[in-house]
């Protein structure tokens, strides 16, 4: 049981380039999330999904797109990278536990845009 995995772990992009971050979970969770974390700051929600084929915007969605074609995968895309998108990106998944949504996080992807 690997939990939540993220690919790649590190990436350097030039301004204007595009890339896709992959998140995979093997816990059969319905809900998945993408966050970004800037140095010294808390996590901010980019996009999330409440099930296969669905996506919704979070707090800071601009400049990002997502897709959830399979229940276990959640992809985050940057169409035209900007230096302001330099950050650590965390993916998480969760399910209803009867009290709340306990989120399980991946190890993160450190992205630098030059």
Partner 1 sequence: LAKTTQPISMDSYEGQEVNITCSHNNIATNDYITWYQQFPSQGPRFIIQGYKTKVTNEVASLFIPADRKSSTLSLPRVSLSDTAVYYCLGPNTNAGKSTFGDGTTLTVKP
Q: For residue 48, state whether it binds partner 1 (rule: CB under 8 A).
A: yes
Q: For residue 71, state whether it binds partner 1 (rule: CB under 8 A).
A: no
Sequence-distant (6+) residues with CB within 8 A of 22 are 6, 7, 73, 75
Q: For residue 105, state whether it binds partner 1 (rule: CB under 8 A).
A: yes
Pairing type for strands 19-25 and 4-7 reads antiparallel
Report the residue from 22, 44, 65, 67 that binds partner 1 according to the rule CB under 8 A: 44
- Smallest gap from Cβ 10 to partner 1, in A, equals 11
For residue 66, the 8-state DSSP code is E
Q: What are phi and psi of 68, to 5 degrees?
A: -135, 75
Q: What are phi and psi of 33, to 5 degrees?
A: -140, 150
Report the residue from 10, 28, 42, 69 that binds partner 1 according to the rule CB under 8 A: 42
32 or 113: whose CB is closer to partner 1? 32
The CA–CA distances, whole Å, from 42 to 10, 45, 73, 89 equal 20, 10, 24, 12
- Smallest gap from Cβ 105 to partner 1, in A, equals 3
Q: Judged by CB under 8 A, which stretch of 10-18, 31-39, 60-68, 72-80 contacts partner 1? A: 31-39
17 or 72: whose CB is closer to partner 1? 72
């Amino acid at each position: 049981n690997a939990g939540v995995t993220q690919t790649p772990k590190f990436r350097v992009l030039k301004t204007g380039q595009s890339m896709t971050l992959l998140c995979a979970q093997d816990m059969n969770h319905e809900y998945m999330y993408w966050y970004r974390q800037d140095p010294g700051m808390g996590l901010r929600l980019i996009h999330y999904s409440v099930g296969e084929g669905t996506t919704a915007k979070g707090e800071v969605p601009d400049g990002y797109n997502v897709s959830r074609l399979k229940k276990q995968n959640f992809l985050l895309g940057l169409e035209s990278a900007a230096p302001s998108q330099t950050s650590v990106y965390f993916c998480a998944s969760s399910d209803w536990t009867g009290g709340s949504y306990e989120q399980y996080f991946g190890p993160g992807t450190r992205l630098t845009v030059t």
